[in-house]
Every structure is written in C-alpha cells, then in structure tokens.
Chains A and B, each alone.
Chain A
C-alpha cells in the first residue's frame, strides 16, 4: 500500500534534486579547500623564524662601531627576502617616531658565490634612503654570526654602554607592516621608557643555509 503523503517526483524533479545535491557538495568542498589553503598561508605567515641568540654586550669582534653617546640599532637583512621589506618599513617608522634616533646599521647578507651587486636589491635601496642609516654588506654572514642573528629582519638595540636592550623582529607577521610589539618596544626604549617586551618573534627568511645531511 503506497504512502499517500509521500510526494512522487517526476524524472525531471529527481534529476534536479540530484543536481542540487551535487552542487551543494561541490560548494562545500570548494569552501573547505579555499579556507584550508588560506589557513596554510596564514599559518606560514605567522610562523616566526629562528630567533637570534645575540650577545648581551656589543660584540668586540664586529667591525661595526657603536655609538658611545647613545643607542645603536642593528638590523640584519637578507637582500632577497620579501618579508624584510615590511621590517625596513617598520624601521623607518621607528626612526621617524623616536625622539632620539639611534645610530643605525642595516646589514645585508652577501653569500660568497654570488656576483657582486647581488645584494643591492630594492631592499638595499630602500634602506639606503633611510636617513642616518649605514648600509653594510655582510659577506658570508660573518657579522650576522657575530650578532647571533639567524633570521632576516632580526633587530638588535644596544644602549650607549653597549648593553643589549632589545632583540627580535619589528613586524607582526611575515611581510606584514603595521602596529606590532617589536616596533613599540624599540620606540619605547629609544624614548627611555620601559617597553612591554624586550624580545619578539622575527618573521623573515633564514640568513643561514639549511643544514645538509652528512
């Protein structure tokens, strides 16, 4: 005995219902795939690089001369790192806002084996345009080693006595400009205020080659 309450669909209606199910399934899969892809991107951009292990005092072996009258800021950068553009932008922000701009060095990695001038990218030019910034070529990353920096964008602030006051990144994520804890800390220190934090994550490319399997 048939159920009189059950609607009987025509072939066209059944086809349409099946098509709707396929459509909604495809839409759901699409959405999941898109969100998953974005999630991977977001996770990457928010994954910091290896933090530095800098010396607590200005390294004696560095060929950089620190300021004896005030703080000295060193930013180590990979000339090809896209994310460091944001770090240089934040550096400009720091130098612009700080009441007492520090003596500033920007070191660009130059691995051996690359042609001369390889390091002189638009980041080099961007950094060169910053006022009172000394651009230094760091051959084979020796200075980076001396300062214990591993990740591009690593920023170190030493005071007039050569004591390390801040170590970390001055961006909120890879390549993302904007308010961030590192910039705020550096500005606070330059303004002789107590910063909320003295160390932050660094977002950028690695300054050292990946370990090879022996």
Chain B
C-alpha cells in the first residue's frame, strides 16, 4: 500500500472512530436530556390549576412523550448504526429539537437558550461541519414558524419584521462560522496526524523488514557455515577467532567455545609460520596489501594433539558493520596428497607398461610381417596346387575316361561274343574307373571351393521339375536296394532363383547316400517353403530308414574323406566326399545343411537354401553340422 493510501486509510479510520464515539455519546446524552426534561417538568411545573383544582401539567406530558419521541430514535441510531452520516444528521436535528423542548419546559429562560449554543459545540465533536447544517436549519425554522404563528412569543411584539427570525438565526450562524473553522482545522490536523502515522508505520515496517532480512541473513549464514564441509573460521582484525564452524571443530579437534577469542595463529598455525601470518594480516590492514589474501595456498596446520597435516587455505577480507574481519576457508588435504602420491606412482607404472607394450607392438608388427610373408608363400603354394590340380585334372580325367569308355566297349564286345568270363573283369575295370573319376571330380570340386574359384551360375528354375528329373535319375539306385521313394512338394514351392546344377548335385548326393545306406526301406523327399532369418527359403528333407549313424559319426560326416566308419567304403562304396561337397555347396549358396540320425532307425538330412540368392552372401550362414 502506498504511503498516501495508508494515510488516507488511517484518516478515514480515525474519522469513523470519531463519528462512532460521538454517536454513542449523543445516544447517552439524548437519554440524559430526556430524563432531565422530565425531572425539570416534575419539579418546576408538575401541575396546572384551575382555581383549587389541579391536573398534571402539559409540560410533564410533553417532557415524557415529546421528549421520548425526540430522544429515542436518534439514541437507537447512535447505538446501533454508529458512524453513518444519516445517524449524525438525525442526531443534529434531534439535539436542536430537544433544546427547543427544554426551552419551553423552562419557560423560555434565557439560560436554557445556552443549550442551543452548547449543542452546536457538542455537534462539532463530529468534526463534520455538515452536521451543523440541519441543526442550524431547525433553529431557523423554529424561529421562522413561531415568528409566523406566535410572533409575540419570539419577539415580544405582536408584529415583527419578516426578517426578524433571521436575527435570531444569525447568532447561531455566528457560532457556526467558528465551529466550521474549528472542524476544518481539526480535520486538517487529523490528516497531518494520519500522514505522520503512515510515515512512522512505513519507517517501522522498513526497519522491521531490515531486521528480518538481517536476521534471516544471519540464520542463513549460520546454517551454511554449520553444514559446510570445509572449515570456515572468522577472525577479527587482530586475528582472534570470532566464529569456528562445526567442520573446523571436527578437523582441528577444538570446540567452538575453546577456539573463539583465541588467536588463529596460536591455535592452528605451526610456530615457524605464525609471524608470517600476523605480518600479512597487519600489512593488509595498514597498506591494503593482499599478498596472502584471496588466493589458495597449501600450508601445514596443526591439530589439537599437535599433529601436523596439510591444508588448503584461502583467506578473504570482509567488512561487517564497518569492522574489518577475515574469513579463512580451510580444507584438510591429507587424503588428497596421499592420492596424488599414489597417482604419481600409478603414472610411473603406466609409463613402464606403455613402454613394454610399445616393444610388444614392435614385436607383433615383426610377426605380422613374417606372417604376411608366410601367407604369401601359402597363397603361392595354393595357387600352385590349384594350377597343378587344374592341369592334372585333364591329365587324370582323360586316361580315366578312356579306360571307362574302352571297358564299356570291350564289355559290349564280350557280350556279343559270349565271353562271360571277361565281362565281370571288364565291369570291375569300369566300376574302378568310375569310382576313380568320381574321386578326382570330388577332389577337384573341393579344391576349387577352398581356393575360392567355385563360381555360381544363378538362374530361375522350377523346383518341381528339378525334383522330377532327380527322381528319374536316382530311381535305378533306389530300386537296386528294393527301397521305396516318395516325394512331397508344397504347393507354395514353385521356382527358385539359385544355382540349378549345384542344387541338383546337393540333392543327388543326399539321395544317393540314402539309397546306398537303406535296404528294403523308404526314402522320402519333402520340399517345403519356410522363413529363415527374414528371408524366404526352401527346405529339402531326405529321410531314410537306413542304417543310421551315431552322434560321433554325425559330427564327422560332413568332413571330406570321412564316412560312417572305416568299413563303410568296403560295405557301401562311395568316396567320402559327397556330404563334404553338399556342405560346401550349401555354404556357397548361403544355405545350411544338418542331419538327424539314430543307428538302426535311419537318418534325416535337411538342406535349407534361400529361394532367391543375392550377389552378397547372407550374414547368418549356418555351417553344415549336426542338428
């Protein structure tokens, strides 16, 4: 609230208080006047006479009835509606009416006329000059009306000037002028008082706020110092401790009561450093030199038991109420120093290890160079091997093909000649040649794959058609051991985009194996579509009811030159390369192959190939293995 608003509020409150108190005062005065009027009437003119006969004087009735009418209404207003303008205006009118009544009850005594002037002065207690207006009007009207109707009672003459009533009212107005001035002055003084009171309140409030702020600041300061983790020590300009926070108590071992009023230098500073501290503080006080102030220093301090320890200290000058003081912030850095020493040691060790590592890296680099040389030599050897195999394949296949061809011819001739004894030999020659050819082809294929030279020829082909051709091819082999071949292909499997030759080779090898190792059993081919690793795949299953394999055997079955056991070649034939080729072809095409088998029950080989091969091989290639 602004100052002027507050002053106005105070003035209004004071004014209202005056109105209310004066209203209540007049309420009691009304009752008193009424009572006095009755007493006077009873005392002075209780009876009216007609000769010997008396009756109650009209004055008594007037005092009771008219006095009551005049007094009660304003008295009630004064008691129950104090402070309102209507109340004091009614009181103003009533007071003058009561004066008129009293004047008449006393027979117009001149002394009773003083009631009029006294009442006006009383009404001025309101300090509201407006109240005088209705009161004055009542007096004027009283004289005007009585002067009109009963002039002799007012003027003593039967006829009087028409302005004669104004002469009587003028005396009242005369007093009104002074009362008006008095009211105005009183109001002015009240306003001045309100202004001064408002100003005083502002000053008191400002001072209280300042005291509260100071108190709060001290409380905050104390709270901060109490919970500070570092030591905070306040000292006066003579170096005597004024405040010693709990952290300082804990660090140095002195209680605040022991420390306060003790010189800081004597308490915690080593003897050989005390004079330096004193000199530095004195230098600041005299010259303003802040050589040791406002900077962090690492010094040695001493605890209560005499133990010395390193501290980090900063001293800052502060002013408090004009007095110079110093604030010392200290921190025990024993632990930090120890950590620094350990860190230095670790750093040394690290540097040593780094040097060692550097030397190891040099040795490693030398090894890598050596390995590179070895690799180059190996690659050279591999190339040589591949070249050898490539050249030898022709050298080996050509005579073998000739041997096989000629053995077939000789067999035909022998059959034509009826030389049954030579047919068996010729068949064995043919079989050995074919076996050798298969072996050479398998070795060459493996070599090509291992050398990274095996190329894929990707094309779109009909899966069902491929299966059909395969069935036709392997049927003789299947029927040879009295097996039954069944084929099931899902309707969803239609075409594949892959290497047809290799896919056919994979299935042919699996079906050949199944036919060889199954007798009087069933061979089932199942082709279905599936999703693997987010790609569409085709899964080929070849299930037989053959001899089966043990777990150890299934672990090795995809290795080259490895069959069920050492007797497998003698019993069942084969080169031991078929499944190795199947495994490598599957890896090459981004697929996988695995086997489930139980001895005496049969085996299930499953090949999963992507339905659409991409140029980049899939990241998740499941290697050939055991399911």
- Residues of A near any B CB (own CB < 8 A): 23, 26-27, 30-31, 33-35, 37-38, 40-42, 44-46, 78, 80-83, 85-86, 109, 111, 113-114, 141, 152, 172-181, 205-210
> Closest chain B residue to A174 by CB distance?
B107
Given the known interface contacts A37-B62, A82-B59, the answer about A173 and B153 at a Cβ–Cβ threshold of 8 Å is: yes
Interface residue range, chain B: 35 or more
What is the bound-complex CA distance between A70 and B376, given in angstroms?
185
User: 4 nearest interchain CB pairs?
Assistant: A179-B156, A175-B107, A37-B66, A82-B45
Instruction: Give A17 to B385 CA distance when docked, in angstroms.
Output: 124
Most buried by B among A42, A85, A181: A42
A37 touching B65 in the complex, CB below 8 Å, given contacts A80-B47, A177-B107:
yes
Which of A85, A174, A206, A210 has the most CB atoms of chain B within a 10 A radius of its CB?
A174
Q: Please report the C-alpha to C-alpha distance between residue A22 and residue B97 in the assembled complex, in whole angstroms.
A: 22
Q: What residues make up the interface of B, taking CB atoms closer than 8 Å to A?
A: 44-45, 47-54, 57-59, 62, 65-66, 69-70, 73, 86, 90, 93-94, 97, 100-101, 104, 107-110, 146, 149-150, 152-153, 155-158
Say yes or no: A42-B150 contact (C-beta < 8 A), given A177-B108, A205-B50: yes
Specify the chain A residue showing the minimal Cβ separation from B49.
A205
Chain A nearest CB: distance from B152 CB in Å?
Answer: 4
Query: Contact: A83 with B107, CB < 8 Å?
Result: yes
B51 touches A46 (CB 8 A): no
Judge whether A27 and B90 touch: CB under 8 Å: yes
Which partner residue on chain A sits nearest B81 by CB separation?
Answer: A23
Complex Cα gap A85–B43 (Å): 14
A30 — nearest CB in chain B belongs to which residue?
A: B73
**Given the complex, which residues of A lie within 8 Å of B73, measured CB to CB?**
26-27, 30
Closest to A180 in B: B156
Interface centre among A85, A114, A176, A210 (most CB of B within 10 A): A176
Min distance, Cβ B98 to any Cβ of chain A, angstroms: 9
User: CB distance A78 to B49 under 8 Å?
Assistant: yes
Give chain B residues whose Cβ lies under 8 Å from the Cβ of A42.
104, 146, 149-150, 153
6 pairs across A/B with beta carbons < 8 Å? A38-B66, A38-B97, A38-B100, A45-B104, A181-B152, A208-B51
In the complex, which residue of chain B has the Cβ closest to the Cβ of A110? B52
Tell whether, in the assembled complex, residue A173 and residue B152 are in contact, meaning their CB atoms are under 8 Å apart: yes
Cβ of B407 to closest chain A Cβ, rounded Å: 125
Residues on B with beta carbons closer than 8 Å to the beta carbon of A206: 49-51
Cα of A34 to Cα of B94 in the assembled complex, Å = 9
Establish whether residues B108 and A210, one from each chain, have CB atoms under 8 Å apart when the complex forms.
no
A113: chain B residues at CB < 8 Å are 52
- Nearest Cβ distance between residue A43 and chain B, in whole angstroms? 8
A44 to B48 Cα, complex, angstroms: 12
CB neighbours of A109 from chain B (8 A)? 51
Inter-chain CA distance A78–B45, complex, in Å, is 13
Interface centre among B47, B65, B156 (most CB of A within 10 A): B156
With A46-B150, A176-B108 already in contact, the answer to whether A40 and B62 are too (CB < 8 A) is yes
Which of B50, B149, B156 interacts with A178 by CB under 8 Å?
B156
CA A38 to CA B602, docked complex, whole Å? 143
Most buried by B among A27, A40, A45, A81: A45
**A27 and B150 alpha carbons, distance in the complex (Å):** 27
- Nearest neighbor of B71 in chain A, beta-carbon distance: A34
Known: A41-B66, A82-B57. A172 touches B153 (CB 8 A): yes
Task: Find A177's partner among B48, B54, B109, B150 (CB 8 Å cutoff).
Answer: B109
By a CB distance below 8 angstroms, the chain B residues around A41 are 58-59, 62, 66, 101, 104
Question: Is there an interface contact between A180 and B152, defined as CB atoms closer than 8 Å?
Answer: yes
Nearest CB on A from B440, distance (A): 114
Partner of A44 from the list B51, B58, B146 (CB cut-off 8 Å) is B58
Q: Known contacts being A27-B86, A82-B45, A176-B107, is A114 close to B156, with CB within 8 Å?
A: no
| Distance (whole angstroms) from the CB of A196 to the closest CB of chain B | 9
Task: Return chain B residues, CB-CB under 8 Å to A40.
Answer: 58, 62, 66
Q: How far is the CB of B463 from chain A (nearest CB, A)?
A: 88
Min distance, Cβ B79 to any Cβ of chain A, angstroms? 15
With a cutoff of 8 Å between Cβ atoms, the chain A residues found around residue B149 in the complex are 42, 46
Q: A30-B73, A82-B59, A176-B153 are in contact. Are A181 and B51 (CB under 8 A)?
A: no
B51, A141: Cβ atoms closer than 8 Å: yes
Residues of B contacting A205 in the complex (Cβ-Cβ under 8 angstroms): 48-50
